[in-house]
Structure 1
């Protein structure tokens, strides 16, 4: 019986038209990093984001890693506000389905590697923040707890008072799949941008997810 759904946010519920990670780093992130008195290239930054290097790696350069990631998230929020003003942040057309999950009595969580502020900003932008019982962004107390670490998934399960066997993780990426597997939760990949192997279920959109949940709970 499925009682809770744990949603990824970026590329699952919303997307960023024309976004390119390397361009973002060059035009937004690098400026904030240089204010800390250090320089990092994009590949090193990408490895920290992907978990190939620990997020504390920057302390090798003499910078507190929490302050580093707060600077990154400051740049991310600036970008989101800039993109929102230009209509470049889009919601997938099926996000209205969230209301139907709530009407079924399911508990919903939103879990993102983005900061709490960035996550809530985009959810508020499309008036869907209130659909979620809990929202968890990056935890500065444990920055290496970002997906694919299961930390945020486990945090959501506890907050929803839901067992791993009573939940589904819904995401678009390999990080979502790995985090769910490590938490012992079945995972649904929403194939917004193609199929990634390893998920328990695959759906084209949230309407198909609704039918999946109804079928499991029947």
Structure 2
């Protein structure tokens, strides 16, 4: 952010994956713009929030009325806006408890896969400095898309939802130094507010069964 500002470049942060999962304090982030996706904090789909640093002038995307301080014309969806505010308050109130529960479930899923597939499972990213609800792993000798296609009982992806359907390896994993083969074997498994231990065990059982079958075919 400091480098960007020295060169007169605005700094925007997409906080869709952090708000509601880890502390996200604007007074500690040197950003000019920050976006929040409502459905990621269990608000209705189609509502979000944009933080704009005080004094920063933006060119409107939609012209017309003066709604939203002249930044986006059109009648506001008050019900969805209120819902987003309430969802954020609930997320903040439950943050510590939610972090601990999700971290426990995530680690249980990771241990289960590593134990059932010894030597084949590799964690992508930092062992502790990661989102409490997200497990990104690579499995040797399989392609992530093939695993998920053969496991209809598990709703997951090999990358972000923004790139769903893209069969190329994640550019983020490649930038982290993973080989193309390892990146293609990645699975992105996430847990939510209502995920349970039983669902974690069921998901692990289904994934292990599919991966073992694919290994036997190779």
- Pair member with larger Rg: 2
Check whether TM > 0.5.
no
The TM-score range, normalised by the shorter chain, is 0.3 to 0.5
TM (normalized to structure 1)? 0.33
Structure holding more helix per residue? 1
TM (normalized to structure 2)? 0.33
